[in-house]
Structure 1
Amino acid sequence: MDIKQLRYFCTIVEEKQITRAAKKLHMAQPPLSQQLKQLESELEVTLFERNGRLMEVTECGLVLYTKAKKILADLDETVVEVKSTDEGLKGVVAVGASKSCFSYLPARIKAFRETYPLVTFQLREGDTFHISELLKTRAIDLAVTRLPLESSDHEFSMIPLPKESYVFVIPQSWWQLVSKKTSVQMKEIQDFPLLLLHRINGKGQFEMIVNECKRHGFKPNVILECPDASMILSLVESEVGATIVPKSTLSAIPQLNTVALSIEDSEIVSESAVIWLKDRYLSKSAQHFLELFQQDVIK
């Protein structure tokens, strides 16, 4: 018994005649009759009783018809779903993001959902090293993360995002210590205890900031290192110290009791990118989501 035989059988039930069923199926009557005989022989039951020119379904035939209709409906639905998934109209997009890069996602997810409302998202968070590992194990499709990458760049394809400056973030109650200015110079930062982001594996922002401080003639007073931007900013709110983070981090993790100051004479910038495994299959849904970064339609 196969799908073709079930379709033939259901058509005979609905048309009540072999001749009409054959016409609807665009086939000759003898092959259709043969298929019905094969089905009855395999099941070892009688599926129809003849009543003149009509074919009346038996009790066994009615059971088969009910089950067959459900099987065929499920199959048709599956075909539609598979095709929709292949076209990117349905499916799941798994996205990883460094916490400090999360601000790149909300507007794009919203814009994407307006065009592809049946596509859902799974979000995973981690530092650059963890994000790279999630990509390698195919736990996620793509990611938004800070550069540089821990893994060799040749493993990933990427779309660079706009470079951004770093800001100096202090508790609001410390603002008077810099005369409530909206910007500071690097030399003023040396007087503050610093809480800096530091990757668990490899080098990144921490080394860049420390080197920038040294370039301006001082060793920063780093009292705490942490890989989690939200924890750093929470500690700043609690007046444990100050920090230096990419400006977009504050959009991803809003703070109420801090002040962000631009740094007038700093040359360091933060670089981020959307990355995915090079030369690996990427679903159509994920490809459509990437297009929002390629087109740069969200500013």
Structure 2
Amino acid sequence: MDIRQLRYFLAIANSGQISIAAKKLHMSQPPLSQQIRQMENELGVMLFERKRNGRRIELTNAGKILYDKAENFLNSFDETLLEVREAGEGIRGTISIGTVLSCVSHLPEKIKSFNKHYPNVSFKLFGSDQSDLSLLLENRTIDLAIVRLPLQMENLSVVPLTKEPYVFVISKDTKGFTSKDFISIKEIENFPLLLIHRIKGEGIYERILKEFQRHDVEPNILVECPDVNILLTLITEGIGGSILPKSSVPPILLKEVQVLDIIDIPLQSETVLVYLKERYLSKASQRFIELF
């Protein structure tokens, strides 16, 4: 068995069909099937079993064991190759970074500064929900992620970035609020709320609801959404208000929205940079982390 066969095996396992895997690998189906049969003959076990429809295949128990081991082995192998290459090439390559959209303000200055010192390094950016970023980290699709606590993931190295208050954000055209700099949770009670809600796991949404409960206030929730940019668009149209981290409101929007401090909610947003503890990070990624 060799590295190439393990990659073939993982491609089939992830695709669920040999025909789809063959297309992704840019090869015809018969040679791919032959490689898998050779692996099964060498190991003396069946790695896949066909479902009743004859097209989809699933891993056997033996295949599931090999899948976990092969995935870890190939990740380690690829990271070792990267480390060896970097010993001779210096700092170059691509850094893949994921960020929740409300944290994107942490990146422009750092990328600009990094590019001046390391012009041979490029970036791939992924903006997504926190749960999606966790999967991208686990799959090694991204090297780093900028997220907000709490996290539903273990085995991470965590670099604290900032702490900031949550504020109430409304349209500048909202009547009765134009002369105010702060607001109480009781005043928000009947206002249509547009709240950030993670796709998976607990986050600020649940913490905000607990604050309403603590003050014996029933919130009027109109919209739940994981994308802060969508919420800000709705706010500028006067549809409602939102409780957001202060930095998630870009300066360009301050002409259209009003930001009010909430006097009786002690919520703080904690932004952190995270990466997997057990993986090798490229020199470029290590240098980028040092900027923070």
Coarse TM-score class (shorter-chain normalised): 0.5 to 0.7
Equivalent in the alignment of 2:27: none
> In the TM superposition, what is the alpha-carbon distance from 1:283 to its structure 2 partner?
0.3
1:178, distance to aligned residue in structure 2 (A): 2.8
Q: Report the equivalent of 1:157.
A: 157
Match of 2:36 in 1: none
What is the rounded CA distance, in whole Å, between the counterparts of 1:268 and 1:202 in structure 2? 18
8 A Cα contact 1:190 1:219, kept in partner: yes
Which residue in 2 is equivalent to 1:177?
176
Cα distance in 2 for residues equivalent to 1:84 and 1:177:
63
Q: TM-score, normalised by structure 2?
A: 0.68
**Displaced runs of 4+ in structure 1, greater than 4 A?**
81-86
Alpha-carbon separation, structure 1, partners of 2:102 and 2:242: 13
Native 8 Å contact 1:100 1:252 kept in 2:
no
Distance 1:252 1:148, change over 3 A: farther
Q: CA RMSD in A?
A: 1.9
Q: How does 1:215-226 map to 2 (within 5 A)?
A: 215-226=214-225
Q: Aligned residue pairs: how many?
A: 209
| Contact 1:103/1:252, CA 8 A, preserved across alignment | no
C-alpha displacement of 1:290: 0.2
Report the secondary structure of 1:163's partner residue.
strand
Would the aligned equivalents of 1:95 and 1:123 in 2 still touch at CA under 8 Å?
yes
SS at the partner of 1:271? strand
Distance 1:109 1:189, change over 3 A: same
Gaps of 5+ in 2: 1-83
Q: Describe the shift of the 1:102–1:179 C-alpha distance in structure 2 as closer, same or farther (beyond 3 A).
A: closer
Correspondence for 1:232: 231
Whether 1:120 and 2:122 are equivalent positions in the alignment is: yes
Q: 5+ residue gaps in structure 1?
A: 1-80, 294-299
* Offset from partner CA, 1:241-264 (integer Å, 9 cap, x none): 110100111138845421111112
Matches within 5 A, 1:1-299: 82-83=85-86, 87-88=90-91, 90-151=92-153, 153=154, 155-174=155-174, 176-178=175-177, 180-251=179-250, 254=253, 256-293=255-292
Deviation per residue, 1:100-126 (Å, 9 max, x gap): 000000111111111111111110111
Deviation of 1:272 (Å): 1.4
- SS at 1:178 equivalent: coil
Partners of 1:278 and 1:136 in 2: CA distance: 11
CA distance in 2, matches of 1:105, 1:253: 17
- Give how far 1:191 is off: 2.6
The answer to whether the Cα contact below 8 Å between 2:172 and 2:178 also exists between their aligned partners in 1 is: no
**Which of 1 and 2 has greater Rg?**
1
Verify the 8 A CA contact 1:86 1:283 in the aligned structure 2: no
TM-score w.r.t. structure 1 length?
Answer: 0.66
| Compared CA separation, residues 264 and 83, structure 1 to 2 (3 A) | same
Maintained 8 Å contact 2:169/2:258: yes
Identity %: 42
Distance 2:250 2:87 in 1: 35
* Superposed displacement of residue 271, structure 1: 1.2
**Letter aligned with residue 283 of structure 1:** S
